[in-house]
Amino acid sequence: MSKITDEYIINTIKDLEKDVVVPSYLNSIDKTIEMSKKRKNTYRKRNLTFASILLIVIIASTSTVFSKTFLPIFKSVFADEGVLKAQVNNKSQLVDKSVEAGKVTVSLKGVVADGIRTVLSIKIDGDRIDFKNLKLEGVYLVDSTGKKYEVSHYGQGELIKNQNHYETTMEFNGSPSKETKLKLNISKINHIDGPWNIEFNVIPTLPKSYNSSSNYSDGKITLEVSKATFSSTYTVIEGKIQGSDFNINSKLSNNNGETVSQLSGKKLQDGSFQLYYPPITKTSDLNLVITTPDGLTTLVNMKISTSN
């Protein structure tokens, strides 16, 4: 490890000034170091230690690189558990682009795309917008091939609101399967015409699917699981079910002791279903427990093989 000397600190601060604006009152650090040379070694070492710590504080507090690295893109007040877990696992991407039209600014903070969905972190600023009755029109994503991704929903969960500020997630069905350039389009926000267009690169992660032939039947409910899919933001269980109105609650666990609760689910007329959970580590077997909505009565308790 290199020894920290007076010259090293001075030269490092000079290099930082090329990219970081150092407050004027901190420029006196040069004088402090020079004065320390005239003192005893014990005081000299003490001043150098202080200067070293102060140098770290300057870097961490003033560098935009540091602030962008550590600030979360998605926040728990408006992003679901699957998106938050993708962020923790470094599957989200920083974008940090803004565009203004009609005195309204739309900022795209970041994105996560995993082959199943594309989720954006969006911020809208403008004193002309009634955020209590926010309505967006002409919202879609389009990739470099011209393929469009329709918006699924926005305004998920509790939102951060104040007089001129609105922050939320915007979710789109599907995602690109490889690195590409996407363009976000918003044609109208409430009564104000745009458009607001933001272009950005995205590197999606790809889901992995495993076939299953797991079955459950107790004479009242028959359930067949045909596939388990693992992505950055979801674990999806697919199959067919009979004998249930699908007004259910469920939990999924693996051999490692992880357990996740169902985020959403859907059932088609032919009995086909999809259950969506936050990401869970893939193991050779999963365990699915389905209960009534109040969680008091267990309807299904079955093992799902994912070794295929």
pLDDT tens-digit readout, 176-203: 999 999 999 999 999 999 999 999 999 9
From 20, 42, 66, the end of a domain falls on: 66
Nearest in space to 182 (alpha carbons), one of 284, 50, 93: 93
Residues 177 and 223 in one domain: no
107 has which bridge partners? Answer: 98, 123
* pTM, 2 dp: 0.72
Can you tell me whether residue 81 is helix, strand or coil?
helix
Residue 15 lies in a domain: yes
Residue, of 244 and 93, whose pLDDT is higher: 93
Q: Is the confidence at residue 257, as pLDDT, over 60?
A: yes
Round the average pLDDT of the chain to a whole number and report it: 80
Q: How far apart are CA 129 and CA 46, in angstroms?
A: 55
Q: Which of 151, 180, 202 is the last residue of a domain?
A: 202
Tell me, yes or no, whether 1 lies in a domain: no
Residue pointed to by tokens 């745009």: 194
pLDDT for 250: 93
Residue 175 covered by a domain = yes
Burial zone of 83 (CB within 10 Å; 0-12 exposed, 13-18 middle, 19+ buried): buried
Q: What is the CATH number of the domain that holds 296?
A: 2.60.40.1640
Same domain, 39 and 121: no
* Nearest alpha-carbon partner for 231 in 197, 279, 185, 167: 279
Q: Are residues 196 and 90 in the same domain?
A: yes
Mean pLDDT of 237-259: 88
Residue 43: the pLDDT is: 45
* 198/99 same-domain check: yes
58 and 78 part of one domain: no
Same domain flag for 92 and 49:
no
Same domain as 153, residue 108:
yes
Contacts of 305 (CB under 8 A, 6+ apart): 212, 213, 214, 284, 285
Half-sphere exposure of 188 (CA within 13 A, CB side): 7
Residue ending a domain, among 187, 202, 217, is 202
For residue 191, give the 3-state DSSP assignment.
Answer: coil
> Same domain for 94 and 119?
yes
Residues spanned by the domain of 25: 6-66
How many structural domains are present in the chain? 3
218 and 287 housed in the same domain: yes
Looking at the structure, tell me whether residues 27 and 58 fall in a common domain: yes
Tell me the pLDDT tens digit for each residue of 55-79. Answer: 444 444 444 443 344 568 888 778 8
Q: Are residues 126 and 228 in the same domain?
A: no
Q: Where are the beta strands (DSSP E) in 33-147?
A: 93-101, 104-113, 117-125, 136-137, 140-143
Q: Do the beta carbons of residue 300 and residue 249 sit within 8 Å?
A: no
Q: Each residue of 260-286: pLDDT tens digit? A: 999 998 888 888 999 999 999 999 999
pLDDT in tens, 22-34: 444 334 444 443 4
Instruction: Render pLDDT for 119-170 as a digit per residue (tens, 0 to 9).
Output: 999 999 988 888 878 889 999 999 999 999 999 888 754 555 556 788 889 9
Does residue 16 surpass a pLDDT of 60? no
Q: How far is it, in rounded angstroms, from Cα 217 to Cα 27?
A: 75
Q: Are residues 172 and 240 in the same domain?
A: no
